[in-house]
Structures are given as structure tokens and as C-alpha cells.
Structure 1
Amino acid sequence: MKIDLSGKTALVTGSTAGIGFAIARGLQEAGAAVVINGRSTASVEAALGRLGGPARGRAIDLGTAEGVDALAALEPRFDIVVNNLGIFEPVDFFAADDAVWDRHWQVNVMSGMRLARIYLPGMAERGWGRMLFLSSESAFNIPVEMIHYGVSKTADVALARGLAKRMAGTGVTVNSILPGPTLSEGVAEMLKAEMAGGKTLEEAGADFVRTHRPTSLLRRPASVEEVANMAVYLASPLASATTGAALRVDGGTIDFIS
């Protein structure tokens, strides 16, 4: 199986590190012309330096309507859009005020919605396109320590499914990806306390999975590359019959058959 994305342009939001960066690298290795995105010029330039090749960057906050409009003015066309931008913050439900909920909603949901509204029509006109949403196993296993996050990720799955129906018959597919615990920089930051006790990142990650995601069959976090592999496949012509799906890269954490 050979994935060839030569001649395709791809945007990966929130791609200066973690899963987003791994997806950007995978798409570039498959031949796509990739646009890296982050909020600061320094982070974007650093990511471009690590990525190498012909990729270009856009330092724009896509968690705002103004940021999305600014990107659209600079980049009017993409063949592939990966809505990876997202935040998570453990806050108990009764301590999570409206600002916490609104911040997660704007970044995790509205960013992808606005980009879909801008870029899907052009994909449909050209008869080919790929729109991906990075959701989470937390969309179905709502985490009690961050209910606001789980709700936003459930919304991503619903949005992707609805958009897939709207784009039916156009040659454009829309799907969501549900990673489980993944060893990204954000997760590493969350596990700092455990690592301070002498554990490696991998050991702390495995302990976290066993404690907080006991249904995991993998019994360890995924690597960012393992999640990226699914995204690159779904972005390719080889996935032409997959649309409206929520594809799990969760290590078997979600405990039902689907």
C-alpha cells in the first residue's frame, strides 16, 4: 500500500507539536504541501525547522473567528484540512465556570466548524477533499475530571458526521479520529508529578492508563506517530469509501463494539 498525496495541499491546525506535528510530518512524507499552524511565530518557526522540506507556516490563533478569517485571506484553498487544534484542562465540574466551557468550545469545536464552512465548498467544486476532526475516546468515555472537554469532543464527532452527510456525493469525505491517551507534550506535562518520582515518561504513561483508563487493551499510551498513521490514511485517496466515521486509535479503551 502506497499513499501518494503529491499535488495536494494540507492544513494541520495546532501542529507545532504533538499529534498535530506528527500528522503534518506524515502528510509531507506522503507528498502533500503542508501548512503548519500555531499561535506564535516562534513555535511555528521551530516546528518548520524540525520538519524541514517545503512546508510553510501560519502563526495565527484559529481559536477565534478573526483568526480563521485571517487564515482564509492568506490561504484560500486546501485539499486536506486536519482539525487537530484542541485544548484540555482537568477542572472539576463544579469549579469549571462559563469561561472554561466557552474556551474549550471555541477552540475544540468552533475552530473546526469555521474552517469547514470556509474550505468545504471549494473541495466540493473540485470534486475531491478530506476534512478530519481530531476528537478523542473522551467523546464516549466522558472523563469525570474534565466533563467540559468530553462534551466538546462529542460535539466534534457529531459535527463530522453531519458534515459528511452534507457533503454526500461530492467526492469530499469527512471523518473524526478518536485517539486514546497519547504521549504528546501536553500529556507529558500532565504526568510531570509522576515522573518527578523517578518514573520514565513511558512508565508514568502506562500507570496513568492502567489507573484512569482501565478498559485499555493496549495498556499503554499510543505514540503520536500511531495516531498520525490513521490521519494520513484517511487523508489519502485510499480512504475514498470511508466517510462519516469515527475511527478509534484508542488502544481498545472504549468498551463497546462499533
Structure 2
Amino acid sequence: RKGFDLKVFGYISLSRAFLKKRKGRDGVIINIIGNSGENWDAAYFAGSTGNAALMSFTKALGGRSLNHGIRIIGVNPGPVATDRMLKIMKRKAIDILGDEKRWEELYDHYPGKRPATVKEVADLCAFLASPLSGYTTGTIVTIDGGISARGSVI
């Protein structure tokens, strides 16, 4: 519960503070959420539930904040090549393949055959924060190499 509260109410508190400070001036809030809110993962129940709540919050607030000049967008990355992701993949390799050293084989089950890079996620966020996407608000943009389209990874 502590993790859920921190995640969900942390986003809400920061969003409120930003909206209060920026009211009447243009701005963009990009909530980096995670696609387990769409593609529920039993191993990460609290995280998946928190992500689903944040997706709903982002959509609801995005629809209300534009009249104050603020756009709110959610970004749902799937797996991203980070140290944390490597640890998760090694745990899954033990559970699924019985051998931590075979973790890279798990990417064979991903439609894109690899995780996203941090730069790919950052580039998407830069675009969403730019005037090029000035009409985008109250929506969730997924960057997961096709995982959501398929419905699951493994």
C-alpha cells in the first residue's frame, strides 16, 4: 500500500502544485507511467494497479486543465533498457527458463525483439512537450514496441 500511495498521490500532489503555480500560463505535465496499467502483470499487482489509477487521473485532469493553458499527457513505456529492467529480466529468466544467464532469450517473445532505449522514451517526451503536439492532452501515449498491440509479453 505504501508504494501505491507514494506513486499515485505523489503524482497528484506534484500535478496540483504545478497547476497552481502555472495557472493561466502555458505548460505541459508529462506523467511517465508504465504500460503495466494497460497490460496487467500479476507479479507487479500494486504497480499495475497504481499505473491504471495514474492513467485515469492523467486523462481526467488533462481534460480539465487545458482551459488553464496546461496540457497533461501520460507516457506508458514498456520495458526500457535500464539496470532495473535487467534485474527484472534475470528474475523472469529464472522463473520461465530456469536460468538467469538466458535472460536475453526473453526478448524473442517481444514483438520488437528488444526493450526501448532511454533515448527513445526521452525523444517521445520532448516531442509531446513541444508545440508540435500542442493539441495533445488528456491522453496516454504508449511506447512499447508492440507489446500492447499483442496484449502480453510471454
Gaps of 5+ in 2: 94-98
* Counterpart for residue 21 of structure 2: 122
Q: Distance in 2 between matches of 1:244 and 1:166?
A: 8
2:78–2:147 contact (8 Å) kept in structure 1: yes
1:183–1:222 contact (8 Å) kept in structure 2: yes
Report the Cα offset of residue 207 of structure 1.
2.5
Q: What are the within-5 Å matches in structure 2 for residues 197-216 of structure 1?
A: 197=101, 204=103, 206-210=104-108, 214=109, 216=110
TM-score (norm 1): 0.51
Amino acid at match of 2:130: S
SS in 1 for 2:67: coil
* Counterpart for residue 111 of structure 1: 10
1:181–1:209 contact (8 Å) kept in structure 2: no
Identity among equivalent positions (%) equals: 24
* Counterpart for residue 146 of structure 1: 44
TM-score (norm 2): 0.83
Counterpart pick for 1:223 among 107, 117, 132: 117
Counterpart pick for 1:243 among 130, 134, 137: 137
Amino acid at match of 2:60: G
Gaps of 5+ in 1: 1-101
Q: Distance in 2 between matches of 1:168 and 1:125?
A: 10
Q: Distance in 2 between matches of 1:144 and 1:244?
A: 27
Q: Distance in 2 between matches of 1:111 and 1:142?
A: 21
* Counterpart for residue 183 of structure 1: 81
Structure scoring higher RCO (CA < 8 A, sep ≥ 6) equals: 2
* Counterpart for residue 31 of structure 2: 133
Report the Cα offset of residue 228 of structure 1.
1.1
